[in-house]
Amino acid sequence: MGDESTTFSDGDAVPRVVIVDDHRLFRSGVRGELGDAVEVVGEADDVDSAVHVIGERLPDLVLLDVHLPGGGGVEVLRRVLAQHPQIRFLALSVSDAAEDVIGVVRGGARGYVTKTISGTELARAIVRVADGDAVFSPRLAGFVLDAFSATDAPPVDPELDRLTQREREVLRHIARGYAYKEVAKELFISVKTVETHVSSVLRKLQLSNRHELSRWATARRLV
């Protein structure tokens, strides 16, 4: 596990990664695509073995499939984060279903990408999440915008239940397909500020207990 000062984006170190996915073919595919960008220290194909391998190897980051035999990615998050809250998770799934996406992010994953992502982009996302930032795919950004504007009900906790104007602006650009760097340029802010905004949105998404969030995710079961 990396201590807080390590920044993988500077190239000081290579993140140590555990891949959790029940498809062997997919695991080896990801391994091959990532190449030297990361150090794969373990693999697992169900919840129990994942919890075991992660506890043993203590990686910087876990690439986590949402659908897993034995309770799904959410179960892995629950059991690992209870003991090792410093381990970071990036969810990776073929599913674009809102309840899967929102569920796993609220369960503690710091990002969500679909399996169609290219190898270089995945490596970049891994480095970013391993550094403690959040990674939002355009679709996740769309879901979050949708979820936070889905209701007119007064927020229980205004600080957590509402996105600021700036955060909405950032999310909107991500949903439009802009990379962080492009968002920063567009909004005349630094990349670091964009990352701060995204992390803050992630925190709100995880901590807000506005029940509309989960209700919205269940109601919107399409793609």
CB of 16 to another protein, least distance (A): 30
CB of 164 to another protein, least distance (A): 17
Q: Which residue lies nearer to another protein by CB, 76 or 98?
A: 98
Which range in 26-34, 52-60, 141-149, 208-216 contacts another protein by CB under 8 A? 141-149
Residue of the chain from 46, 48, 96, 212 that contacts another protein (CB under 8 A): 96
Angle at 199 between CA 38 and CA 81, to 5 degrees: 65
Q: Is 211 exposed, middle or buried (0-12, 13-18, 19+ CB in 10 A)?
A: exposed
159: β partners: none
Q: Which amino acid makes up residue 161?
A: D
Residue 69 interacting with another protein (CB under 8 A): no
Residue 218 interacting with another protein (CB under 8 A): no
Residue of the chain from 33, 46, 146, 169 that contacts another protein (CB under 8 A): 146
3-state secondary structure of 1: coil
Q: Which residue lies nearer to another protein by CB, 171 or 202?
A: 171
Which range in 15-23, 53-61, 66-74, 172-180 contacts another protein by CB under 8 A? 172-180
> What is 178-202 written as a DSSP string?
--HHHHHHHHT--HHHHHHHHHHHH
Rounded Cα–Cα distance for residues 197 and 168 (Å):
9
Residue 97 interacting with another protein (CB under 8 A): yes
Chain CA centroid to CA 112, Å? 4
| Cβ atoms of 135 and 112 closer than 8 Å | yes
Q: Which residue lies nearer to another protein by CB, 60 or 167?
A: 167
Residue of the chain from 4, 5, 154, 223 that contacts another protein (CB under 8 A): 223
Residue 153 interacting with another protein (CB under 8 A): no
CA distances to 78, 117, 157 from 55, rounded to whole Å, are: 13, 27, 35
Footprint of another protein (CB under 8 A): 96-97, 116, 138-139, 141-142, 145-146, 149, 172, 175-178, 221-223
